A and B are shown apart, each in its own frame.
Chain A
Amino acid sequence: MGQFIARRLIWLIPTILVMSLITFVLMHATPGSPLQPLAANANPLPPDAQKNLAHAYGLDKPLWQQYVTFVYKAAKLDFGYSYIYRTRKVTEILAQAMPVSLELGAMAMGIAIIIGIPLGILAAVNQNGPMDYLSTFLATLGVAVPNFVLSIFFIVLFVIILHILPSTGGWNGPEDWIMPAFALGLGPLGILARYTRSSMVEVLHQDYIRTAQAKGLSHSGVVIKHAVKNGLIPPLTIIGPMFAAIGTGSFFVETIFRVPGMGRYFVDSITARDYPMIMAVILIYGVFLAVMNLAVDVLYGVVDPRIRLS
């Protein structure tokens, strides 16, 4: 197990390097530079001053040298100063924005798990009953409707028609949390309910379930004690990547509800060619995704001892 984790973590290094290199190349291939934005008159400085600026940020060096410097500094978690917020370090900005994104992601994930898994179990136990149809409906809605479209529907329903939630947005209290968390969580909720349902249906047809019922255990006892334990393995595997995806996918929800999270900075940094910020955000997401996948693989082995990690 220790060896497995170590090997996966070591594999993470070349993966991240390739990812950073591709990002770096794409970013520099993008027309326009931080010093010469595409908009006319965006940078009124005289050429000499621009040259000094380029020198100060190291943008006058050859590209490979810039990349090596970046890797060297990034290894020490130093991403430099943001080009947009000149006095603030990238790490400083992200230290403020990331917790907000993570909070939103965690709430959405919490909603997905707390509602989605029981819904899936109930749907499997009452196949073709009302609960089953509700779960199918929510699952399809959650899977097929993009979260920014859901956000729009939520605003129309709860703010404009029902007037039960404020229209201000932000991230100050529960009334700000509800809509973004549900808009973001409904998709994962649907997927989880679907996964849980199909895996529970399969488990409920197993011989040991029949044995448990033959012994005279109550129906709910069989479901809770025998079926759930095995039925939850497949849904468990998708929780990790799902959580990572919610972190990256929350940009739209964050924009619509004016949540001061990380997503906003990514798009702003791309339009402004804020190189240090672009690199930092991509790498954080990449590492996050990889660690989540690793955590799931490890957890999978813990829950189901038949799976040997190698």
Chain B
Amino acid sequence: MDAIDQTRAQDAPLEAPSGAAASILAGAAARRHRTLWHDAFRRMVRNKLALGGLIMVILISLLAIFASVIAPYPYAKPDFVAINAPLGTPGHILGTDELGRDFLSRMIFGAQVSILVGIGSQFIVLLIGVPIGAIAGYSAGKTDTILMRFVDVAYAFPQLLFVILIMSWRGPGLTNIFIAIGVTGWVTLARLTRADFLSMRERDYVLAARSVGAGPWRLMSKHMLPNALTSIIVTITFGVPQAIFTEASLSFIGVGVSPPRPSWGQMVGQYFTYLQAHWYLAVLPAVAIAVVMLAFTFFGDGLRDALDPHMQRT
């Protein structure tokens, strides 16, 4: 297909020397070139809020990746001559905390935790939720009933409470946060994948593939999964801000990341009691959490609208 398009685009000026015709033909070739992702990307870029979200997400990710280069100090380095320095202290623009650690640096490193948890935990959700949903939806019948009973029970769990329980069992730390959010957060994705697969079972293209001898694995991975991909991606995208929220909540109550690693939720939890004297200590990380969650939400909204043009934003 690619090769044909290319030759056509090259042939076009030879066949039709007139400029207008050439551009029409070139346009047609270019249009045939577009894939679902091209289309989605174009629609997404036109949506200003979504684009803003995407740019914000990229900026925060860059901040997280290059934190050690951007931040003026390492996050755990105390400055003993500037303990509890106020806003605007030379060398510490945002002041320092009770151990003399630079607040701006800790804010910058806080982005690492949010981004890592947001994406890492969704990876686990994906690894658990999609296979369970896919197997249930593909097999239907008894396997489906059993798996769905299991999912129903998991669905009834108060999620945050179980995340807190798991964290107190495994102890604080980033990996444990991934695990805790991952093993409690896959239920929605499993239900969705199952519903998609169930509706695809009797579709003509699946029946056709089956009739030429495609096995279950091939059917699921090559024929059904690509068609469920857009809704899986959208669900995962919305899962990211939720995971960030969960991490912030865990760190807020002190069972999230292990100190001295800074997390925005942990900073809010630690400093909200000083709101009256030093408001910015809790407000800045609170704003950071709000911004990162808004960015992912706007991006997710835009992605959903872009991937599914039928489901127009009503």
Contact = CB atoms under 8 A, between A and B. Distances in A.
Partners in one complex: yes
B168 A282 contact: no
Given A26-B165, A202-B314, A152 B294 contact: no
B292 to A, nearest CB: 9
B161 A248 contact: yes
A79 interface: no
Contact of B153 (A14, A149, A155, A285): A14
Contacts of A289: 156, 158
A30 interface: yes
| Interface size class of chain B, counting residues whose CB lies under 8 Å from the partner chain | 35 or more
B106 to A, nearest CB: 17
Given A152-B282, A167-B276, A290-B156, A145 B294 contact: yes
B249 A146 contact: yes
B241 interface: yes
A152 B156 contact: no
Contacts of A248: 158, 160-161
Given A26-B165, A149-B289, A156-B283, A144 B157 contact: no
B43 to A, nearest CB: 19
A19 B160 contact: no
Interface stretch (A85-93, A111-119, A263-271): A263-271
A256 B268 CA distance: 10
Interface of A: 11, 14-15, 18-19, 22-23, 26-27, 29-31, 140, 143-146, 148-149, 152-153, 155-156, 159-160, 167, 197-198, 201-202, 244, 248-249, 251-252, 255-256, 266-267, 270-271, 278, 281-282, 285-286, 289-290, 293
Interface of B: 152-153, 156-158, 160-162, 164-166, 168-169, 171, 241, 245, 248-249, 252-253, 255, 268-269, 272, 275-276, 279, 282-283, 286-287, 289-290, 293-294, 296-298, 314
Given A202-B314, A249-B160, 12 more contacts: A19-B153, A23-B165, A30-B168, A149-B268, A152-B283, A155-B275, A156-B275, A159-B275, A244-B158, A251-B160, A252-B249, A267-B253
